[in-house]
């Protein structure tokens, strides 16, 4: 290994590989490697100009088995990388080892690691006929380490140690490849390639199926809060969330007409219930890719938005990236190269309710085209925000090797698709200066927090098992740097809205959502016995609609419970505003793992069925059918149960009654009693 020192960086070369390790923000290092002689200029998620550095680069001589070798060290504040003569990289926080590449080869540096297995930490394999490589990067596993973050995976595990995760975007799966370790570091896989990570017991392995270079970023901190603050400084801060969107968002699949939307809003007004935003879902349009209201059922969108605005209600409209072959925009976009290309077979990427190809947001001209259409057909009518659905994109078949974007193969870039899609709207809306941009997306990637993205958890089933999964999804999304996260209250897919089990689930989900970043009613509510509006095979009357999904739609008793909890939400307005400000400043999520607030409490690192809503409220959601009490762990401090005002001194485990109209919540009300 040959070493060379540059300002703030170390360059290492061996066997055709070039490695660059450089200071990148407070107590942080960026590590890149390539087999192509020079690095690309891609910064990927590391978009921010981080200036805080305390760097020292040194190259030292040492003796190994009777021969003189060199070891290189890069130190930036509390983090240090050491590279030995074989190119093995080890990372230290305050001189304590936190991470080391996995190396099982004869010329290893430590005798107990010397093996004849010929396994190296960075394995490059050229893709036959292409300029890219497949890449595997392995690290030593550490017994007892816990790992969190990484985005959203529909599974019951909060601690990801022992899990294998696909690095790919799908409906309800969100790859945000930033992990927080209980050992005091955060690790960003700064690579949008489709791949896989395995946090194994024997080793950790990151894989990219097609890439030109290795790129990761590592930071050190005493607490998850410090780690997330460093990460936010490097990848971007969420904006300031508007105060007038912190209440209830009303939505269903689907409001089919202008009059349906207005009648719902008027009813809320008569009921004396304030809704902040009403959402107009899909197939309000003529065809996918036309991006405009069907005039048969939406004859005067401007008058509609004006009436809604007069009631203090903002309006969000659904936009899909799919363009039907029969759309008026298909052939102009196809001719100009603004749609995703297929490597083989027919030019089709999506087949739901049409023969569609999705837009290519990696082409700058695509954004210009789509925005101009949506500005003219939506924004100019007074539409306030966009629901950028199917943002993964939702491919008909997730054969990523069959798709190609303007900037390269999907295998190399696809995880950035939702971020690029969102920027079509964020960049232009920001330029217009109409206040903070808040759009709704079904997917995200590292750094998406800075582009006005509220991310929801996708089309999940209406089951208690799914509700439990959403809790760990939201907690891990927060630790991956995405603080604006929400769900479809009640789940998305419901067969029978009169099913008592579903009604119980709806209430428990609503209670949970009140103590989350965004409270949004949505869902596809069966049975589908409402007649179509017309017999056309296109347009606003074509698709089915679900059953009503307003607060009053589920019976008087459930209505009363949801109204009570909406009042709780509104009473916390100033508190929630403060949480959004904190998210903007340092990246702290609104819903937080117990260990985020109590990192010194070992038990808090084991809990995944309760959480903190900010630093004040300990929330114990009801995650099982017919569960009307549950145990709750209270860390050190004084805690008041909100139902009885009874105060308990922690640490303690208590049993709490949870009738249907109450979800256990404790308010932190003072310092630890040391007497």
Catalytic one among 392, 412, 428, 524?
Answer: 392
> Do 478 and 592 form a contact (C-beta atoms < 8 A)?
yes
Query: Which burial class, exposed, middle or buried, applies to 29 when counting CB atoms under 10 A from its CB (0-12, 13-18, 19+)?
Result: buried
Whether residue 389 lies in the annotated active site: yes
DSSP secondary structure letter of residue 572: T
Catalytic one among 22, 294, 360, 389?
Answer: 389
Please, which residues have CB within 8 angstroms of residue 106's CB and are 6 or more apart in sequence?
114, 115, 116, 118
Closest CA to 362 of 386, 388, 393, 332: 393
Closest CA to 611 of 228, 158, 163: 158
Whether residue 306 lies in the annotated active site: no
Catalytic one among 213, 358, 459, 597?
Answer: 459
Q: How far is it, in rounded angstroms, from Cα 473 to Cα 489?
A: 14
Q: How far is it, in rounded angstroms, from Cα 105 to Cα 116?
A: 5
Strand partners, 656: 630
Q: How far is it, in rounded angstroms, from Cα 358 to Cα 339?
A: 6
Query: Which burial class, exposed, middle or buried, applies to 97 when counting CB atoms under 10 A from its CB (0-12, 13-18, 19+)?
Result: middle
Whether residue 159 lies in the annotated active site: no
Q: Are strands 439-441 and 647-657 parallel, antiparallel or unpaired?
A: unpaired
Cis peptide bond N-terminal to 527, omega within 30: yes
**Tokens encoding 672:** 């630890």
CA dihedral over 516, 597, 575, 387, signed as positive or negative: negative
Strand partners, 9: 6, 22
The residues assigned a catalytic role are 389, 392, 459
């Amino acid at each position: 290994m040959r070493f060379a020192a540059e300002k703030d960086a170390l360059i290492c070369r061996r066997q055709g590989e070039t490695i660059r390790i450089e200071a990148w923000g407070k107590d942080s290092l960026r590590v890149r490697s390539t087999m192509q002689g020079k690095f690309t200029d891609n910064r990927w998620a590391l978009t921010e100009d981080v200036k805080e550095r305390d760097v020292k680069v040194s190259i030292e001589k040492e003796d190994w088995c009777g021969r003189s070798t060199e070891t290189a060290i890069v130190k930036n504040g509390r983090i240090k990388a050491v590279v030995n003569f074989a190119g093995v990289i080890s990372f230290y926080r305050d001189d304590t080892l936190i991470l080391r590449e996995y190396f099982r080869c004869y010329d290893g540096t430590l005798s107990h690691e010397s093996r004849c297995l010929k396994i190296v930490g960075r394995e490059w394999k050229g893709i036959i006929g292409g300029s890219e490589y497949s890449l595997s990067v392995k690290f030593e596993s550490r017994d007892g380490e816990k790992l969190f973050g990484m985005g959203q995976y529909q599974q019951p595990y909060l601690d990801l140690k022992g899990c294998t995760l696909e690095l790919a975007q799908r409906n309800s799966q969100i790859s945000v490849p930033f992990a927080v370790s209980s050992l005091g570091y955060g690790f960003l896989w700064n690579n949008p390639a489709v791949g896989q990570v395995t946090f194994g017991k024997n080793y950790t392995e990151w894989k990219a199926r097609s890439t030109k270079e290795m790129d990761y970023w590592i930071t050190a901190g005493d607490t998850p809060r410090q780690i997330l603050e460093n990460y936010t400084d490097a990848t971007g801060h969420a904006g300031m969330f508007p105060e007038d969107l912190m209440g209830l968002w009303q939505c269903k699949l689907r409001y089919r007409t202008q009059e349906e939307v207005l009648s719902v809003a008027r009813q809320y007004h008569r009921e004396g219930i304030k809704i902040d935003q009403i959402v107009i879902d899909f197939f309000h349009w003529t065809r996918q890719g036309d991006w405009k209201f069907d005039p048969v059922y939406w004859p005067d969108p401007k008058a509609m938005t004006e009436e809604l605005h007069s009631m203090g209600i903002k309006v969000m409209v659904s936009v899909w990236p799919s363009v039907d072959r029969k759309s008026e925009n298909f052939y102009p976009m196809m001719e100009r190269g603004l749609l995703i290309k297929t490597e083989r077979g027919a030019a089709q990427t999506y087949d739901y309710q049409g023969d569609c190809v999705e837009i290519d947001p990696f082409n700058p001209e695509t954004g210009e085209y789509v925005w101009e259409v949506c500005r003219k057909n939506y924004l100019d009518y007074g539409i306030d925000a966009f629901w950028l659905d199917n943002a993964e994109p939702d491919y008909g078949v997730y054969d990523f090797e069959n798709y190609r974007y303007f900037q390269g193969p999907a295998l190399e870039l696809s995880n950035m698709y939702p971020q690029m899609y969102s920027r079509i709207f964020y960049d232009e809306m920001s330029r217009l200066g109409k206040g903070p941009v808040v759009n709704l997306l079904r997917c995200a990637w590292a750094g998406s927090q800075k582009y006005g993205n509220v991310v929801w958890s996708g089309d999940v089933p209406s089951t208690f098992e799914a509700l439990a999964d959403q809790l760990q999804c939201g907690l891990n999304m927060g630790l991956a740097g995405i603080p604006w996260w929400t769900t479809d209250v009640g789940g998305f897919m419901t067969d029978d809205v009169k099913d008592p089990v579903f009604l119980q689930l709806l209430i428990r989900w609503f209670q949970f959502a009140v103590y989350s970043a965004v409270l949004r009613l949505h869902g596809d509510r069966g049975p589908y016995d409402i007649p179509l509006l017309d017999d056309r095979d296109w347009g606003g009357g074509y698709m089915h609609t679900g059953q009503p999904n307003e607060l009053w739609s589920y019976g008087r008793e459930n209505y009363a419970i949801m109204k009570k909890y909406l009042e709780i939400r509104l009473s916390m307005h100033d508190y929630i505003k403060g949480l959004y400000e904190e998210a903007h400043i340092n990246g702290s999520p609104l819903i937080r793992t117990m260990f985020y607030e109590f990192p010194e409490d070992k038990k808090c690192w084991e809990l995944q069925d309760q959480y903190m809503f900010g630093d004040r409220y300990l929330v114990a959601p009801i995650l099982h059918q017919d569960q009307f009490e549950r145990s709750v762990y209270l860390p050190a401090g004084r805690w008041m149960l909100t139902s009885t005002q009874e105060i308990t001194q922690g640490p303690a485990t208590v049993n709490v009654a949870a009738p249907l109209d109450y979800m256990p919540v404790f308010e932190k009300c003072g310092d630890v009693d040391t007497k």
